[in-house]
Structure 1
Amino acid sequence: MSSSPTPKPLPLTSRLIHGFLCLLALLPTTVSWWLACGIAGAMGRLGTRGAKVTRENISLCYPNLTQSEQSELATASLRHTVYLLFESSRIWTWPWRRLATQLTVAPEVEARLKAALAEGKGVIILAPHIGNWELLGRYLQQIDDLKVLYQPSPSPAFDQLILHYRQVDGTEVLPTNRKGVMGLFKWLKRGGLTGILPDQVPERDSGAAFAPFFGVEAMTMTLIYNLIQRNGCKVLSGACLRTEAGFKLVLDEPDAAIYSDDERTSLCGLNASVEQLVQQAPEQYQWEYKRFRRVLPGQPRRYDFTKG
């Protein structure tokens, strides 16, 4: 692995945010969870946009659950999503040697990753919005050099801080433009390692197509399909899921259809792989994300909470 780059000085606003996160990281986990539950409860009672999106997504993806069961899952999801901020203050600001004590890594799981890297065709880790994907990124960099794509945050100060955190262990961040994507293609061709958030909604039709996710047609990125077709990459589905003791590393084989030469079949396999991870801890999935905001022609808009 390459050595960690010398961090660039952060602007004042970013340093202030960093200081706040360091203070947040001092809170005991029980206090953080209690605060997260209180905030999540208020979101539910006030009917915030995040709470409404959560309920709509769960009703779409789990139509067989009763109203009570859907409500229970929505409440649990809001708690985990709010807690993610408290939790990530530690993931971002603690050194890896301290974080490593919080993560349980089964020998066979790590062996699966190393075996995939040993094939020399490049490895893609599907890292959807479940558990703590920031911790997953830090773990992967300890195993091998990691390059990832990064979509800038709307807040310049927070954006510079996130870039700082993601590069602190030596991870290289590539822009989400043609140059960055081509850099990722070349990196994987050399047998490199990358992590991709496969459940992000592409903003443009190019590089995306509809495929079912929990039975609902969802705009899905074709980048992973193209990377597999170009380089014959190995794919693993990854997550750091919360447990009573901290976190558990999950690195599973994806749905076999992801390797299909047919684009539609591959995208179905991609979403099925994400579903398999979500089913392991559905309350830890970020249902607050507008996964279905892009719809097929002729379908009504979703998440339109202004009517009525």
Structure 2
Amino acid sequence: MRDRLVDWLYALGWAAVKRLPEPLARALFSAIADRVWRGRGKGVAQLEANLRRVHPEADEARLRELSRAGMRSYLRYWMESFRLPTWSLARIADGMQVKGLEQLNEAMAAGRGAVLALPHMGNWDLAGAWIASAGGYPFTTVAERLKPESLFDRFVAYREGLGMEVLALTGSDVSVIGTLARRLREGKLVCLVGDRDLSEAGIEVDFFGEATRMPAGPAALAQRTGAALFPVTLWYDGPVMRAEIHPEIVPPAEGDRRERTSVMVQALADVWAEGIREHSADWHMLQKLWLSDLTPRGAAQ
């Protein structure tokens, strides 16, 4: 029953929110964000705990201010996502401003292929729609399998409608890594969200002075295929979203494959940390992230 309700609510969002005048939709989702923030649920509490790592110097009043802005940014992401299928190519183009695109253009023109690795910042769906349309690079990505299956199917259809090829992270006969590597060897683009490990098999990194794990995938794929690896940060700036494609992370010359991957993942984490520190309200991390917060699988809850 709960799964069916969740699926129905998402379906309602895609059906109804896109029909609202945009100013009304923005006001509505800001009001929802404020109500959730005042409710002090688990997600808000965890967001503040995460922001405390980002800004250890901040007092409680500042953290509350950041978490409120963070919830408004997060609900803006959902509002835009529900409306994105109706946006024209011109509207998508006008909604993004990108710095560093020339680096991606050079790698793609050379036939190397490229991996864009993003944290959970801003609206990664809008960024994807922009790069596939205005940027001119349809791409392949990976999605976590959601429950119920009908909800996962909705998300896949939604993202494919924005110009993405979507691979299920689990539960498929298709080799995810093999397919991504094949796309890169064909000189194509892969985009991956990489600041949260879902497998418990990621690379341990230092992130804001504490240990966490991040997926090895973006760095491992770049090494395996010779594709360029670019970290990306996203943030809102008034009515538009800005993105920066940072300089390529090149595999180190020394060490075995695992050691080189570890160095590259740490480099990704360092770039993301700088962007998150500067645009903390647009980092949508409402889940536990650091190892000290996580309960090992199989341990008592």
TM-score, length-scaled by structure 2: 0.82
1:125–1:194 Cα contact (<8 Å) kept? yes
Which residue among 31, 36, 44 is the counterpart of 1:43? Answer: 36
Determine helix, strand or coil for the equivalent of 1:147: strand
- CA deviation profile, 1:209-250 (whole Å, cap 9, x unmatched): 211112221111111221122122212223453222322332
1:219-298 → structure 2 map (5 Å cutoff) = 219-253=213-247, 256=249, 259-260=251-252, 262-292=260-290, 295=291
Question: 1:105/1:26 Cα in 2 relative to 1: closer, same or farther (>3 Å)?
Answer: farther
Per the TM alignment, residue 301 of structure 1 is displaced from its structure 2 partner at its CA by 4.6
Unaligned runs of 5+ residues in structure 2 are 1-5, 296-301
Kindly report the root-mean-square deviation, in angstroms, between the aligned alpha carbons of the 2 structures. Answer: 2.6
**Equivalent position amino acid for 1:92 in 2:** P
Q: Does 1:188 align with 2:184?
A: yes
1:136–1:239 Cα contact (<8 Å) kept? no
Per the TM alignment, residue 20 of structure 1 is displaced from its structure 2 partner at its CA by 4.0
Q: Does 1:81 align with 2:74?
A: yes
Q: Which residue of 1 aligns with 2:169?
A: 176
Q: Which residue of 1 aligns with 2:151?
A: 158
- CA deviation profile, 1:42-87 (whole Å, cap 9, x unmatched): 2233220111111111112221222222221111111111222112
Q: Which residue of 1 aligns with 2:3?
A: none
> How far apart, in 1, do the equivalents of 2:36 and 2:8 lie?
29
Q: Does 1:135 align with 2:126?
A: yes
**Equivalent position amino acid for 1:62 in 2:** H
Number of residues paired by the alignment? 279
Per the TM alignment, residue 156 of structure 1 is displaced from its structure 2 partner at its CA by 2.2
Q: Does 1:216 align with 2:219?
A: no
> How far apart, in 2, do the equivalents of 1:15 and 1:58 lie?
32
Per the TM alignment, residue 105 of structure 1 is displaced from its structure 2 partner at its CA by 4.4
Unaligned runs of 5+ residues in structure 1 are 1-12, 303-308
Percent identity between the two aligned chains = 19
> How far apart, in 2, do the equivalents of 1:263 and 1:194 lie?
17
Per the TM alignment, residue 270 of structure 1 is displaced from its structure 2 partner at its CA by 1.5
> How far apart, in 2, do the equivalents of 1:16 and 1:76 lie?
24
Which residue among 194, 197, 209 is the counterpart of 2:193? Answer: 197
> How far apart, in 2, do the equivalents of 1:100 and 1:229 lie?
32
Q: Which residue of 2 aligns with 1:145?
A: 138
> How far apart, in 2, do the equivalents of 1:186 and 1:80 lie?
35
Question: 1:160/1:234 Cα in 2 relative to 1: closer, same or farther (>3 Å)?
Answer: same
Determine helix, strand or coil for the equivalent of 2:175: helix
Question: 1:99/1:221 Cα in 2 relative to 1: closer, same or farther (>3 Å)?
Answer: same
1:147–1:184 Cα contact (<8 Å) kept? yes
**Equivalent position amino acid for 1:287 in 2:** M
2:51–2:280 Cα contact (<8 Å) kept? no
> How far apart, in 1, do the equivalents of 2:149 and 2:241 lie?
30
Q: Which residue of 1 aligns with 2:62?
A: 69
> How far apart, in 1, do the equivalents of 2:263 and 2:158 lie?
36
TM-score, length-scaled by structure 1: 0.80
Per the TM alignment, residue 200 of structure 1 is displaced from its structure 2 partner at its CA by 2.3
Q: Which residue of 1 aligns with 2:53?
A: 60
1:14–1:160 Cα contact (<8 Å) kept? no
